[in-house]
Amino acid sequence: MERRNFLKAAAITGVAGISLSACAETQKGQGEPLGSGGYILHSVYFWLKPGLTEDEERDFLNFFEALRKVPGIRSLTFGKPAPTNPRPVVNNSFSYHLVVTFNSMDDINVYEKHPQHTSAAEKYSKYWDRVEVRDTVFD
């Protein structure tokens, strides 16, 4: 019985140590320049207006193609919500999710103000009701 308790305690200590180490690594990278493998993940969720025609939705997709022309983009992809099982932590209410990666804060700062980005957003914003952006730094 004592051996079982010792093994449980050792396992819990190991998991706690790994978790704390992971948190420390994440905290360490905040505010510092990105390393050679680091990047910024720009995640944008779109809720399209109800009642759009198929042609209007297809036209909206041209927005993503216009964004590809902005310099400094490392990668750009988009998709619709996955048909995952409903759970309290899952929010599949959005229409499209855009994921853009950048090598540096300078790159995303250029992207945000670039005329290709701002004019495309102005042109295609007629199709959405709501947009949410989440940016994350990965070292």
Q: Within this chain, do residues 39 and 63 fall inside the same structural domain, yes or no?
A: yes
Q: Does 89 lie in the same domain as 38?
A: yes
Angle (deg, nearest 10), helices 105-113 and 115-124? 50
pTM: 0.74
Instruction: pLDDT tens for the chain, 139 residues: list them.
Output: 454 444 444 444 443 443 333 333 333 333 445 666 799 999 999 999 999 999 999 999 999 999 999 999 999 999 999 999 999 999 999 999 999 999 999 999 999 999 999 999 999 999 999 999 999 999 8
- Tell which residue, 135, 132, 112, 127, has the closest CA to residue 48: 127
Instruction: Write out the residue range of the structural domain in which residue 11 sits.
Output: 1-30
For the chain, how many structural domains are there in total? 2
- Containing 120, the helix (H) or strand (E) segment is helix 115-124
Does 58 lie in the same domain as 26? no
Q: Do you know the residue count of the chain?
A: 139
